């Protein structure tokens, strides 16, 4: 019996009903650190004052009182051996069944309890870490049910942990973020690696979070759960979106203003010169941003040859010390279109005051240059008109005196045939001079007009034979008159003369034959359209277009076509006043004239005559078509080899 007890792997003892040790093995001696003789006859509470001794005494009292087995985990903090034991107390009975003693077994559970305590401490530290982390943390099972959430989740979601644990995300939110999170977790389960993405929620927690999901594995490496961290990035995301919107507004403003921002970094000891452009700058020159010039050589390859030397000198002056500049020059885009740009720049200095580069803007000013040219042309025509009108009036007075005296001289020499022939020749020349004067007055808009209500769709057919007479057999004429043309208030004779002039010009531009088209239609110029055509105010007009398929004009010839006495015809073939007279008549009538021409394709002259006041509605005319006010070759092309 003694050998059994001492070799047992547990502490064994027998106590009397007074709870005093009667028999014990060596494990009891080891636990109390005393020999058996110092233990026999004493109670546990007499050997130790710890809570563990009180717990053992309570178990023994329970056995005595109930006659049942009692057990509990007990801790003796003062012991170096068997500090943690699992105590089992049971009654010992005689043959008659009466309780005569108490048996006890104490199993050493110190290692297990220490492991449990270490685990509990670790879990407590982990829980403290989770609850104090400045972001949301969760643990889910493989079916997406929440196993653990930190206080950050409760605070951010405004939901208690008890209402979250055991539930899935779709049970808590209906936002688009649910599908995004599920896609992330599915990828983690399938691929077995960390996945991180931005997620957008509208009904649960922060609006924008950066979600990091990762697998949790067991000792064998199998995925048993999913961990997740969510960082609130709402403020950063909103700032990003505001920045993106600001940049988008800037790009739109750049596009609308045809503006680009750039910087030019000067060459350093270890760096080369470099141009940098703001996003969207490529739109200015019709190319991707990546193709915008990065250095002088690339920039000069786009610059028109006539402007390169001037630009090189300016850039060299900037490198040498010029602090700011404004320059205008021409650039050929990849599609072949030449545009005018204005470059405004200022030197940039570093903290030490050294000149390190240039920053500036580039703006497409092609339309502005065109408007400026139109203004100059209008001012030139006005000045020439005033000068021409003054000269014409004086010349007309001289012609009247000469003609009067020639007529008187003819009356004084009634029988002198030779003299009469000379006088009549002088009178014819004087009359031609008077006709020339009338043309000059027409250009100067100082001629006397006799406007009356006129139906263009009646006037043009009535003069059809007159218009066709100057044409040869090699020229085909087409008339295209719209239905229900509005009436105009115009000098019919001057209009007929103008149309005849245009037809003759078209004939001269087609020496080898071609096609002449005379068209008329109603047009309504809207306020937005009026900006496209200099001098054409919004309103209702009847448009007469005379087009040919002749030689066309160069831009230089077209720019001077309305100048008096300018002609490309040979000597003796024209006075250079035909188009000038048409221009003056149309302007004096409150209309507008437009000349479109391209070499080799032809010319179109468009005359806009204002509708007679109040007549458009009364006439019940057909709705107008919207006019194309672009500056290219339009509709039937018109060409003037000369005038």
Q: 493-509 pLDDT, tens per residue?
A: 888 888 988 998 889 88
pLDDT average, residue stretch 18-43? 94
Of 180-189, 438-447, 571-580, 607-616, least confident by mean pLDDT is: 438-447
Most confident range, picked from 179-188, 204-213, 407-416, 627-636: 179-188
Average pLDDT, the chain: 83
CATH 3.30.450.20 for domain 240-364: yes
**3-class secondary-structure state, position 149:** strand
Most confident range, picked from 123-137, 206-220, 447-461, 517-531: 206-220
Q: How confident is the model at residue 376 (pLDDT cuts 50, 70, 90)?
A: low
Q: Is the pLDDT of residue 71 over 60?
A: yes
Instruction: Note the residue count of the chain.
Output: 643
What's residue 627's pLDDT? 41
Domain range summary for the chain, segments of one domain joined by +: 2-114, 133-232, 240-364, 370-443, 452-619
Q: Is the pLDDT of residue 642 over 70?
A: no
CATH 3.30.420.40 for domain 133-232: no
What's residue 389's pLDDT? 55
**2-114 and 240-364 agree in CATH topology:** yes
pLDDT > 70: percent of the chain: 83
Q: How confident is the model at residue 531 (pLDDT cuts 50, 70, 90)?
A: very low
pLDDT average, residue stretch 604-609? 93
Pick the CATH number of 2-114 from 3.30.70.580, 3.40.50.2300, 3.30.450.20, 3.30.470.10: 3.30.450.20
Q: How confident is the model at residue 617 (pLDDT cuts 50, 70, 90)?
A: very low
Alpha-carbon distance of 169 to 146, in angstroms, equals: 8
- As given in the structure block, the two tokens for residue 265 are 């970094």
Cα R_g (the chain), whole angstroms: 53
Of 123-127, 453-457, 604-608, least confident by mean pLDDT is: 123-127
Alpha-carbon distance of 218 to 207, in angstroms, equals: 34
Bridge partners (DSSP) of residue 139 are: 148, 227
Q: Is the pLDDT of residue 56 over 70?
A: yes
Whole-number Cα distances in Å, 494 to 343, 498, 582, 639: 48, 6, 8, 23
Higher pLDDT, 58 or 447: 58
Burial 463-497 (b: 16+ CB within 10 A, else e): beeebeeebeeebebeeeebeebbbbbbbbebbbb
What's residue 631's pLDDT? 31
Judged by phi (left if over 0) then psi (alpha if -120 to 50, else beta), residue 446 lies in alpha
Q: Which fold has domain 452-619?
A: Heat Shock Protein 90 (3.30.565)
């Amino acid at each position: 019996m003694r050998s059994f007890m001492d070799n047992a792997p547990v502490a064994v003892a027998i106590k009397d009903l007074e709870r005093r040790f009667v028999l014990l093995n060596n494990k009891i001696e080891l636990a109390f650190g005393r020999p058996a003789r110092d233990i026999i006859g004493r109670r546990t509470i007499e050997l130790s004052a710890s809570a563990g001794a009180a717990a053992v005494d309570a178990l023994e009292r329970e056995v005595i009182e109930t006659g049942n087995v009692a057990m509990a985990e007990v801790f003796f903090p003062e012991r170096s051996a068997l500090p943690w034991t699992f105590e089992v107390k049971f009654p010992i009975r005689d043959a008659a069944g009466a309780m005569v003693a108490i048996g006890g077994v104490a199993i050493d559970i110190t290692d297990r309890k220490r492991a449990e305590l270490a685990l509990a401490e670790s879990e407590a530290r982990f829980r403290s870490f989770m609850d104090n982390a400045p972001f949301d943390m969760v643990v889910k099972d493989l079916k997406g049910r929440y196993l653990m959430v930190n206080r950050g989740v409760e605070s951010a979601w405004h939901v208690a942990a008890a209402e979250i644990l055991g539930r899935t995300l779709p049970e808590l939110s209906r936002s688009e973020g649910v599908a995004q999170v599920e896609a992330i977790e599915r990828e983690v389960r399938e691929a077995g690696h960390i996945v991180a993405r931005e997620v957008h929620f509208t009904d649960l927690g922060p609006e924008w979070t950066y979600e990091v999901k990762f697998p949790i594995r067991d000792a064998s490496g199998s995925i048993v759960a999913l961990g997740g961290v969510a960082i609130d990035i709402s403020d950063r995301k909103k700032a990003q979106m505001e920045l993106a919107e600001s940049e988008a507004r800037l790009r739109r403003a750049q596009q609308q203003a045809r503006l680009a921002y750039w910087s030019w970094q000067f060459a350093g000891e270890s760096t080369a010169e470099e141009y940098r452009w703001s996003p969207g700058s490529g739109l200015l020159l019709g190319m991707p941003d990546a193709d915008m010039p990065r250095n002088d050589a690339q920039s000069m390859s786009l610059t028109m040859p006539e402007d390169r030397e001037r630009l090189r000198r300016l850039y060299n002056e900037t490198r040498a010390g010029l602090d700011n500049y404004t320059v205008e020059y021409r650039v050929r885009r990849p599609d072949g279109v030449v545009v005018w740009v204005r470059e405004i720049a200022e030197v940039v200095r570093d903290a030490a005051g050294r000149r390190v580069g240039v920053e500036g803007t580039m703006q497409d000013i092609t339309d502005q240059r065109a408007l400026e040219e139109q203004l100059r042309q209008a001012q030139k025509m006005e000045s020439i008109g005033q000068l021409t009108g003054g000269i014409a009036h004086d010349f007309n007075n001289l012609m009247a005196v000469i003609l009067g005296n020639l007529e008187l001289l003819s009356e004084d020499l009634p029988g002198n045939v030779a003299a009469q022939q000379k006088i009549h020749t002088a009178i014819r020349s004087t009359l031609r001079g008077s006709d020339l004067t009338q043309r000059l007055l027409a250009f100067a808009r100082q001629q006397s007009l006799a406007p009356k209500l006129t139906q263009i769709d009646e006037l043009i057919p009535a003069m059809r034979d007159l218009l066709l007479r100057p044409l040869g057999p090699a020229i085909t004429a087409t008339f295209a008159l719209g239905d229900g043309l509005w009436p105009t208030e115009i000098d019919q004779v001057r209009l007929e003369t103008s149309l005849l002039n245009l037809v003759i010009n078209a004939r001269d531009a087609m020496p080898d034959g071609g096609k002449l088209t005379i068209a008329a239609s109603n047009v309504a110029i809207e306020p937005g359209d009026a900006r496209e055509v200099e001098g054409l105010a919004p309103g209702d007009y009847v448009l007469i277009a005379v087009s040919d398929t002749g030689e066309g004009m160069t831009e230089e010839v077209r720019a001077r076509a309305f100048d008096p006495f300018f002609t490309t015809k040979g000597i003796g073939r024209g006075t250079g006043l035909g188009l000038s007279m048409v221009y003056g008549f149309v302007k004096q009538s409150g209309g507008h004239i437009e000349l479109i021409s391209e070499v080799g394709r032809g010319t179109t002259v468009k005359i806009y005559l204002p509708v007679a006041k109040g007549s458009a509605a009364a006439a019940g005319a057909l709705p107008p078509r919207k006019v194309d006010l672009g500056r290219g070759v339009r509709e039937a092309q018109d060409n003037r080899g000369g005038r």
